[in-house]
Structure 1
Amino acid sequence: MDQVVITVSNYPAGFIQDFVMDPASSKLSLDNHEDFVLAIMWYIEHSFVAALALINRRTTTLESRLNQATHNEELFTIMAYQKSLIRFKAALNQNAPTLDAVEASVTHFNAPNHQSLTDDIKIETQQASDMADTTNQILQQYSQLVGSVISNNLNDVMKFLTSLTMVLTIPTIIGGIYGMNVKLPGAGLVHSFTWLMLGTIILCIISIEYLRNHDYF
Structure 2
Amino acid sequence: MLRMFSTVNGQIEQIDKPESGSWLALSDPTDVELTTVSQETGVDLADLRAPLDDEERSRVDVEDDYTMIIVDIPTVGERAGRNWYETIPLSIIVTKTLIITVCMQDTPVLHPFMEGTIRGFNTFMRSRFILQILYRNATMYLRYLRIIDGETDKLELRLRHSMQNREILMLLELSKTLVYFNTSLKSNEIVMEKLTTLSRIKQYPEDEDLLDDVITENKQAIEMANIYSGVLANMTDAFSSVVSNNLSNVMRIFTIISITLSIPTLIFSMYGMNFQQGMLGMPFTDSRWGFLVIIVLAIALSLAVLWFLTRSRLFK
What amino acid is aligned across from residue 110 of structure 1 in structure 2? Y
Scaled by the length of structure 1, what TM-score is found? 0.81
The correspondence of residues 91-170 of structure 1 with structure 2, limited to 5 A, is 91-105=184-198, 108-112=202-206, 114-170=207-263
Report Cα offsets for 1:99-144 as digits up to 9, x if no partner: 22443355624042x1221122112111111011111222222333
Find the partner of 2:297 among 199, 202, 209. 199
Match in the other structure for 2:108: 14
Q: In the superposition, relative to structure 1, how do residues 206 and 14 fare at CA in structure 2: closer, same or farther (>3 Å)? A: farther
The question of whether the paired residues in 2 share the 8 Å contact of 1:28 and 1:36 is answered with no
Report Cα offsets for 1:143-195 as digits up to 9, x if no partner: 33334333333322322221111011012111101212343222334444344
Q: In the superposition, relative to structure 1, how do residues 8 and 172 fare at CA in structure 2: closer, same or farther (>3 Å)? A: farther
Structure 2: distance between partners of 1:190 and 1:27: 98
Structure 2: distance between partners of 1:160 and 1:138: 33
Match in the other structure for 2:286: 188
Q: In the superposition, relative to structure 1, how do residues 23 and 209 fare at CA in structure 2: closer, same or farther (>3 Å)? A: farther
Q: In the superposition, relative to structure 1, how do residues 28 and 83 fare at CA in structure 2: closer, same or farther (>3 Å)? A: farther
The question of whether the paired residues in 2 share the 8 Å contact of 1:3 and 1:30 is answered with no
Residue 90 of structure 1 deviates from its aligned partner by 1.6
C-alpha RMSD of matched pairs (Å): 2.8
Greater relative contact order (Cα 8 A, min sep 6): structure 1 or 2?
Answer: 1
For this pair of structures, how many residues does the alignment match? Answer: 214
Match in the other structure for 1:76: 169
Q: Structure 1: any 5+ residue segments left out of the alignment? A: none
Q: Structure 2: any 5+ residue segments left out of the alignment? A: 1-17, 27-100, 276-280
Aligned residues: percent identity? 24
Scaled by the length of structure 2, what TM-score is found? 0.58
The question of whether the paired residues in 1 share the 8 Å contact of 2:256 and 2:310 is answered with no
Which structure: greater helix fraction?
Answer: 1
What amino acid is aligned across from residue 184 of structure 2 in structure 1? A
Residue 28 of structure 1 deviates from its aligned partner by 7.2
Match in the other structure for 2:30: none
Match in the other structure for 1:5: 25
